[in-house]
Structure 1
């Protein structure tokens, strides 16, 4: 005779997922309202980059602050989601471990991106062309393809766990695998500038997916 044990897992996943998405969207809206642009691409003319940072140091500080907060919120969201999955699917420690590592690495990259933006908010730093260009590429990489590709491990691993256990609707799990694939592909920005278009696709799709998972993942087996 087989007995199914219901494991209580009452920590909310939806709340930190919503906070994560909300903080990041707030960082984008701040840029749009204050400067008419979310950020400047490192692949544009350097004079435009210099003008942006010279004109908007306070905005850069606030965007960095909000994205640093997003990284912290993502770390909390990852921890709560992984805790939930360990209670619901104790037989799948491998994929759950990958989800934990991916989410935490993605959170660190995004938080570091915020720190770099804080550094760039100081006029004495961005006044030097070589330093400005180097930090701009670093900020773009940390908060762009590095963060998105790492988040793909979280999304993909959770999707695999859900597919094997039926914890989430099948369409949501399948969508997560597609999002993970697109997000990983964004790392090809290393060698091809054109691939940068995949960064926002993977980023926003992953945020929406994470919020949906936060509301739909069950509390008990």
Structure 2
């Protein structure tokens, strides 16, 4: 299995996501007044938390917490000849944000994947990236931010996926999206975990 070919598909998926990220306009919400406004906001936050749900893919060996609100989850199960699978894509039509989860064979460490993805993105016109940095979500997780011109922002996180797999998470959103979009993306990244391996029966 050639790591460079896998990374090529990863870059293709990321660049496709960037080209599809469009500027979205969100209508401002009407401010609440007095105690009733605070109560309404609290109820809204509670309902969004309840709308979040756990999504499990036993075939690919991962789980995640789907955001609430206007976020949608699409099951794609796309697979390349090199063995890279895109099981789900999450998107938020109201903000234009999108998160692509890729599952790849562990032909390289998460740090190596992230480093090569960074180099590949920097070779693309208009892309600017930060340096890959370790993340506390797992012992081997690495992430970096990127921008495409003045219009698109994004983040990549690569972590171990257990059972000889690596999870590559690619997010994009319009530069003018609300601040809470990036927070939701980070929370989604943190929720992606490999499923525990069941003990063998003796």
For Structure 1 versus Structure 2, the TM-score category normalised by the shorter chain is: under 0.3
Q: Which has the larger radius of gyration?
A: 1
Q: Under a length normalisation based on structure 1, what TM-score does the superposition of the two structures give? A: 0.24
Q: TM-score, normalised by structure 2?
A: 0.25
Greater strand proportion: 2
Q: Higher helix fraction: Structure 1 or Structure 2? A: 1
